[in-house]
């Protein structure tokens, strides 16, 4: 039971006071994940940057903890008033990449640099959180109409526009897919129209196949791809022909596989990994899962997945025990977001899909990604806290 009765010693009488064990369990899971991430970032970083990366991550953890604390007391019903402001803000932030604030890194403009702020902000991280709020608000306001295909299509057009802008302006395919994934799962659960969503899925597959066919028909030779600055094409080459381009486009991928394979079940020991020294560039970011497998082995990976599973289960409890559509859809959106990030990051490290630049939640080094993930967890905790307060008030009125 997440709601428990305790004794008020000041009066000697039993007083029903409801507290949420789910909240405490979430905080414990988040704390363990953050500690795990800090340790692995310090271990995965090169010797010259280990302390710097550790301090940077710790700073964002502090800001994230403050965000969780603040959002735990924020009336989540007010988020519903942000339906359209959240949507239009996501559009504005995306277009901000086209201004002088936009920063181009390795051929992609995904960050903005605000003067006098010592770090860059990845716009997609903020946009994904805003879209979770927008999708939940839209579904909540149209709940009685979600069985109609017209309502679902309207939401898909709006979300698809934002996802398309992310893809075109920031060339961020992974974030585009994550946003669409959140929308797909949310509308599927809300509408329960499996035929419509099967049709959407089939259309997506057809579009993807046609895109690949058309794109490959205009591709230059492999040598030309390697000589230009098309980072996405190089990533695809490195994925398809890993061994052939093990010294160039496939270098990071094959080194990641070496790291995972060399760890065996129990790993080489924390800090004893060798691939991080120079073989895997920026090992503390996208490829940190490979370092976990090398140093802690399969056992370390299982421990990490158990922590993720424990956190996601607590979110599931919030959804299951919620009587509020908006709160439930918000938490579902956060759950889908976390699952998408985990699956994509691990798939990249194991060469199931091409490198996409998606971080591993709570673990990878990355300020804005970590901060927004903790913001989303704070929203879930706030929803749960207000659920238990309503239960307590209902008990008092009985």
Please tell me the predicted confidence (pLDDT) of residue 12: 36
SS3 352: coil
Distance, CA of 376 to chain centre = 9
Helix (H, G, I), strand (E, B) or coil at 116: coil
Q: Which two tokens stand for residue 262?
A: 């060399």
**Rounded distance, CA 280 to CA 271, Å?**
15
Most distant CA pair in the chain: distance in Å? 82
pLDDT on residue 25? 93
Q: Which residue has the tokens 């057009």?
A: 157
pLDDT tens per residue across span 333-357 = 999 999 999 999 999 888 887 777 7
In this predicted model, which residue has the larger pLDDT, 313 or 220?
A: 313
Q: CA dihedral in degrees (299, 303, 304, 307; nearest 10)? A: 170
Q: How do 108-112 and 121-122 pair as beta strands?
A: antiparallel
* Sign of the C-alpha dihedral computed for residues 167, 344, 350 and 352 taken in this order: negative
Q: What mean pLDDT value characterizes the chain?
A: 81
Task: Please tell me the distance from the alpha carbon of residue 279 to that of residue 273, in angstroms, as a whole number.
Answer: 11
Please give the Cα distance from 324 to 332 (Å, whole number).
12
Q: How far apart are CA 149 and CA 66, in angstroms?
A: 41
Q: Which of 59-63, 228-232, 255-259, 275-279 has the highest mean pLDDT?
A: 59-63
The per-residue pLDDT for 220 is 54
- Most confident of the ranges 15-24, 62-71, 140-149, 168-177: 62-71
Structure tokens at 209: 């196949």
Distance CA 57, CA 44 (A): 13
Token digits for 54?
Answer: 């550790």
Instruction: Return the top range by mean pLDDT from 220-224, 359-363, 387-391.
Output: 359-363
Which candidate, 28, 31, 50, places its Cα nearest to that of 41? 50
Nearest to 247 by CA among 239, 256, 238: 238
pLDDT at 197: 81
* Whole-structure pTM value: 0.86
Please report which helix (H) or strand (E) contains residue 388, including its range: helix 367-397
**Per-residue pLDDT averaged across 201-217, rounded?**
72
Which tokens in the block code for residue 396? 């008092």
In contact, 102 and 111? CB cutoff 8 Å: yes
Task: Tell me the pLDDT band of 5, cut-offs 50, 70 and 90.
Answer: very low
Would you put residue 365 in left (φ > 0), alpha (ψ -120 to 50) or beta?
A: beta
CB 139 within 8 A of CB 186: yes
Residue 322, SS3 per DSSP: coil
Rounded distance between C-alpha atoms, residue 122 and residue 190, angstroms: 30
* Overall size of the chain counted in residues: 398
Sheet-wide strand order for 102-105: 102-105, 108-112, 121-122
What percentage of the chain carries pLDDT values higher than 70?
78
Do 226 and 234 contact (CB within 8 A), yes or no? yes
Mean of pLDDT values over 237-248: 63
Coil, helix or strand at residue 356? coil
| Angstrom distance (rounded) from CA 320 to CA 71 | 21
**Residues 6 or more apart whose Cβ sits within 8 Å of residue 87:** 130, 131, 134, 158, 162
Task: Give the model's pLDDT for residue 285.
Answer: 73
Q: pLDDT tens, 261-304?
A: 887 888 888 877 776 666 566 667 778 888 899 889 999 999 99
Q: Give residue-wise pLDDT tens across range 74-119.
A: 888 788 888 899 999 999 999 998 888 888 776 677 878 887 777 7
Distance of CA 364 to the CA centre of its chain: 11
What pLDDT, on the 0 to 100 scale, is given for residue 218?
54
Structure tokens at 68: 């969780």
pLDDT at 203: 84
pLDDT confidence of residue 223? 58
């Amino acid at each position: 039971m997440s709601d428990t009765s305790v004794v008020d010693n000041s009066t000697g009488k039993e007083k029903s006071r409801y507290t949420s064990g789910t909240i405490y369990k979430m905080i414990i899971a988040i704390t363990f994940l953050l500690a795990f991430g800090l340790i692995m970032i310090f271990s995965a970083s090169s010797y010259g940057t280990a302390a710097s990366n550790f301090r940077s991550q710790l700073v964002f953890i502090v800001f994230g903890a403050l965000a969780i604390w603040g959002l735990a007391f924020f009336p989540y019903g007010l988020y519903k008033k942000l339906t359209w402001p959240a949507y239009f803000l996501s559009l504005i932030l995306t277009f901000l990449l086209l201004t002088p604030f936009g920063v181009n890194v390795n051929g992609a403009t995904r960050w903005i640099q605000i003067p006098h702020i010592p770090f860059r902000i990845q716009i997609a991280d903020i946009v994904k959180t805003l879209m979770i709020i927008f999708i939940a608000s839209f579904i909540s306001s149209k709940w009685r109409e979600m069985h109609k295909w017209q309502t679902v299509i309207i939401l898909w057009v709006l979300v698809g526009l934002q996802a398309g802008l992310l893809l075109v302006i920031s060339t961020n395919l992974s974030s585009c897919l994550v946003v669409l994934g959140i929308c797909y799962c949310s509308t599927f659960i809300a509408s329960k129209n499996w035929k419509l969503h099967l049709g959407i899925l089939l259309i997506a597959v057809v579009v993807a196949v046609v895109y690949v066919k058309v794109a490959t028909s205009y591709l230059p030779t492999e040598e030309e791809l390697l000589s230009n600055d098309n980072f996405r094409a190089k990533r695809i080459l490195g994925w398809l022909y890993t061994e052939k381009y093990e010294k160039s486009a496939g270098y990071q991928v094959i080194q990641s596989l070496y790291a995972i394979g060399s760890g065996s079940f129990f790993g080489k020991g924390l800090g004893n990994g060798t691939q991080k020294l120079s073989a895997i560039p920026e090992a503390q970011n996208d490829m940190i899962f490979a370092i976990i497998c090398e140093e802690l082995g399969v056992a370390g990976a299982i421990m990490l997945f158990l922590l993720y599973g424990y956190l996601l289960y607590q979110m599931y409890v919030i959804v299951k025990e919620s009587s509020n559509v908006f709160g439930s859809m918000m938490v579902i959106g956060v759950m889908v977001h976390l699952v998408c990030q985990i699956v994509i990051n691990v798939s990249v490290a194991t060469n199931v899909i091409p490198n996409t630049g998606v971080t591993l939640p709570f673990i990878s080094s990355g300020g804005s990604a970590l901060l927004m993930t903790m913001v989303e967890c704070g929203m879930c905790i706030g929803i749960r806290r207000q659920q238990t307060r309503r239960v307590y008030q209902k008990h008092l009125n009985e």
